[in-house]
């Protein structure tokens, strides 16, 4: 089957979604990211792998947080970075997305990081560009946000390396999450035997169990003996809406407190993609507690994004060793 993310000989060409990435590529990204964790701890946090390359962040919807992580990752690789907020630009003059992209390619952009609220925008661009141009999906609609999914898996592997032996619970708004589906796919591909989702029925997609997960509507049962608790963000617009009684009520039932966390294994880790709603989906004491790996997730997010860009530009884990600048 044709896979737009891979070249004909099975190398990563674009990163559009975690679905469709074979285990070999997932492992390559995670192993390469491992080599970049050390770079961030050096005195000089830079390697010259993308020197003279141009990374173009095209954001059709605003997201300072995501844009910043890609910008830092690209600069640590010594790339030149261009930030374009396209909603305020040529689009207003009636130019099509593909004309905008073609212009940037004509200026010799090498990698596009694309965020668009419509599902499939990054795919559309990936299908259009020449073989030496690479596209990274930085979030499209509620479809995919693959680097977030990858950094979550990377974080789990760092803290719990024996993945074939793990029990992972994903808690909260699975229905509207850009990443839950990617994470479920990545975890099962990497051999995690048991993935659970815990949420009210109104926040679960239909037939979610077909993704290979166990469904719980109760925190006590769902968190029982898990190794990893992945909290999802509750979007402001869901609270006090038709789907939920209130933020306070949600916190009481599904908000992660230490009391509920104690159902999990004593060394279970707590994750959250940020930004957190403290007191809604997670209690401050847990967010800042010693089981939380929420800030390490952010750190590893830079390493994972560096890894993806380095691999797309032709540099894999083996070629990076010793590449200090």
In the three-class reduction of DSSP (H, G, I as helix; E, B as strand; rest coil), residue 144 is classed as strand
Q: Which is nearer to a second copy, 259 or 288 (CB)?
A: 288
Q: Which is nearer to a second copy, 196 or 272 (CB)?
A: 272
Q: How far is the CB of 287 from a second copy (least distance, A)?
A: 9
Q: How far is the CB of 128 from a second copy (least distance, A)?
A: 11
CA angle 240, 242, 244 (to 5 degrees): 55
Q: Which is nearer to a second copy, 254 or 300 (CB)?
A: 300
**Distance of alpha carbon 41 from alpha carbon 60, whole angstroms:** 33
**Distance of alpha carbon 128 from alpha carbon 148, whole angstroms:** 25
Q: How far is the CB of 208 from a second copy (least distance, A)?
A: 26
**Distance of alpha carbon 194 from alpha carbon 246, whole angstroms:** 31
Tokens 């997960």 found at: 213
Nearest to 6 by CA among 307, 312, 301, 315: 312
**Distance of alpha carbon 200 from alpha carbon 205, whole angstroms:** 11
Q: Which is nearer to a second copy, 43 or 206 (CB)?
A: 43
CA angle 176, 178, 184 (to 5 degrees): 100
Q: Which is nearer to a second copy, 115 or 185 (CB)?
A: 115
Name the maximum alpha-carbon separation found in the chain: 57
Which are the contacts of 92, defined by CB distance < 8 A and separation ≥ 6?
none
Q: How far is the CB of 100 from a second copy (least distance, A)?
A: 8
Q: How far is the CB of 152 from a second copy (least distance, A)?
A: 14
**Distance of alpha carbon 230 from alpha carbon 170, whole angstroms:** 5
Q: Which is nearer to a second copy, 158 or 185 (CB)?
A: 158
Q: Which long-range contacts (CB under 8 A, 24 or more apart) does 21-24 make?
A: 21/146, 21/186, 21/189, 22/189, 23/189, 23/190
Q: Which is nearer to a second copy, 88 or 290 (CB)?
A: 88
Q: How far is the CB of 87 from a second copy (least distance, A)?
A: 10
Q: Which is nearer to a second copy, 3 or 68 (CB)?
A: 68
**Distance of alpha carbon 105 from alpha carbon 57, whole angstroms:** 13
Question: By the criterion CB under 8 A, which residues form the site for a second copy?
Answer: 40-46, 51-54, 62, 64-65, 68-69, 71-72, 75-76, 80, 82, 84-86, 88-90, 93-96, 99-100, 102-108, 236, 274-278, 295-299, 301-302
Q: Which is nearer to a second copy, 40 or 124 (CB)?
A: 40
84 beta partners: 58
Q: How far is the CB of 51 from a second copy (least distance, A)?
A: 6
Which parts of 43-190 fold into alpha helices (H)? 64-76, 97-106, 121-128, 146-159, 180-189
Q: How far is the CB of 275 from a second copy (least distance, A)?
A: 4
Q: How far is the CB of 298 from a second copy (least distance, A)?
A: 4
Instruction: Give the helix/strand (H/E) hosting 306.
Output: helix 294-312
269 beta partners: 228
């Amino acid at each position: 089957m044709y896979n737009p993310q891979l070249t004909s000989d099975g190398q990563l060409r674009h990163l559009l979604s975690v679905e469709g990435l074979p285990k070999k590529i997932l492992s390559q990204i995670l192993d390469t990211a491992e080599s970049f964790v050390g770079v961030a701890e050096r005195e000089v946090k830079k390697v010259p792998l993308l020197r003279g390359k141009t990374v173009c962040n095209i954001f059709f919807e605003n997201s300072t947080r995501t844009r910043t992580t890609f910008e830092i990752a690209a600069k640590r690789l010594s790339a030149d970075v261009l930030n374009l907020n396209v909603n305020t630009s040529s689009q207003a003059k009636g130019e099509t997305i593909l004309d905008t992209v073609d212009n940037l390619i004509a200026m010799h952009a090498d990698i596009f990081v694309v965020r668009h609220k419509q599902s499939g925008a990054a795919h559309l661009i990936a299908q259009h560009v020449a073989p030496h141009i690479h596209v990274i999906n930085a979030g499209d609609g509620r479809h995919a946000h693959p680097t977030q999914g990858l950094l979550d898996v990377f974080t789990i592997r760092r803290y719990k390396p024996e993945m074939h032996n793990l029990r992972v619970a994903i808690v909260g708004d699975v229905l509207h999450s850009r990443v839950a589906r990617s994470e479920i796919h990545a975890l099962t591909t990497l051999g995690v035997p048991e993935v659970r989702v815990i949420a009210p029925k109104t926040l679960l997609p239909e037939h979610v169990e077909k993704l290979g997960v166990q469904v719980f509507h109760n925190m006590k049962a769902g968190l029982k003996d898990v190794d990893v608790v992945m909290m999802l963000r509750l979007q402001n617009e869901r609270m006090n809406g038709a789907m939920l009684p209130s933020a306070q009520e949600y916190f009481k039932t599904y908000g992660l407190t230490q009391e509920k966390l104690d159902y999990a294994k004593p060394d279970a880790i707590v994750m959250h993609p940020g930004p957190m709603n403290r007191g809604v989906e997670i209690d401050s004491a847990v967010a800042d507690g010693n089981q939380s790996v929420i800030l390490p997730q952010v750190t590893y997010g830079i390493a994972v994004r560096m890894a993806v860009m380095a691999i797309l530009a032709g540099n894999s884990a083996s070629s990076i060793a010793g590449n200090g600048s």
